[in-house]
Chains A and B, each alone.
Chain A
Amino acid sequence: MPVPLPPDDPRFKQRVENTFRLDPEASERFRCGHAKDLVQARLTEALQGVQYDVEQARSLAVSIANNIRLDLEQLYLPRYKLVAHVLISERRDQGLAVGCRFLWDDAKDNFATATFENQTLVAVAAVFGTYCE
């Protein structure tokens, strides 16, 4: 016989009324245009005038990814899971190809990408939002 959990237990989940909604509201959808602006702004702000340096690039990549995720969290996107992915590469006349593909619900899930280039580095950032039913 399962014992009821006390309300201050971390596993306790409040019972919520059923919304009978399968899709997100129009105002709560993942908007590509808006997300792209945010991603581009974060990328440019972090990498403007920066020369490629191994140690710095490592920590920059992590901090840009965190900032992008926090920015998206500020937007009101209930029931959306977010993934921010950042790639920074040094420029040494090498070829580089980046591709991505998804297995998800096209109507509700979406993504936004942005790129940044200067003399010594190339950066590509992407943020993906998937709706969790």
Chain B
Amino acid sequence: MLQFYVSVSVQTQFVVDEVSNVIKEAVESTIGGNTYQQAKVNQWASSVVESCLGALTKLQKPFKYIVTSVIMQKTGAGLHTASSCYWDNSTDGSCTVRWENKTMYCIVSVFGLAI
């Protein structure tokens, strides 16, 4: 009788550090030196997500990605995010990066689900 073993290699595992670096670079390059502007914030949120996704695609890993970004003006308000997942712990993972400058916070969450 044959037994099937699923081997989890680095290629099929969600590597948090790598993804975290990718996101930080993407956010920095998209909204790096900008001040919060109401008129542009929607476009920024979209472009941050787009550039993150583009950079993640370049990693050429067999993953489906979900990227969410939140851009919030700094006025002293509180913000909480939480996520709950039903997936395969050995292959899937998530990474949340918190970036800020003088006028705004940007929180990007990436969920990677193995194919």
Q: Chain A interface (Cβ within 8 Å of chain B)?
A: 2, 4-5, 11-13, 15, 52, 54, 57-58, 60-62, 64-66, 68-69, 72-73, 81-105, 109, 111, 126, 128, 130, 132-133
A101 and chain B: residue at smallest CB distance = B49
Closest residue of B by beta carbon distance from A91:
B77
1/0 contact trace for B44-57 toward A, CB 8 Å?
11101110010011
The count of residues in chain B whose C-beta lies closer than 8 Å to any C-beta of chain A is: 50
Asked if A52 contacts B65 (CB within 8 A), the reply is no
A3 to chain B, nearest CB (A): 9
Instruction: Known pairs A65-B82, A83-B83, A90-B77; list 12 more (Cβ under 8 Å).
Output: A4-B3, A12-B3, A72-B86, A82-B87, A83-B85, A85-B68, A95-B36, A97-B41, A97-B44, A101-B46, A101-B49, A103-B65
Overall SS of chain A's interface: mixed
Could you tell me the distance between the alpha carbons of A90 and B84 in the complex, rounded to whole angstroms? 21
Q: How far is the CA of A92 from the CA of B105 in the complex (A)?
A: 14
A-B contact pairs, 24 of them (CB 8 A): A2-B3, A13-B3, A65-B84, A69-B84, A81-B87, A81-B88, A83-B85, A85-B83, A87-B80, A90-B77, A92-B76, A92-B77, A94-B74, A97-B72, A98-B70, A99-B69, A100-B67, A100-B68, A103-B64, A104-B66, A109-B64, A126-B68, A128-B66, A132-B88
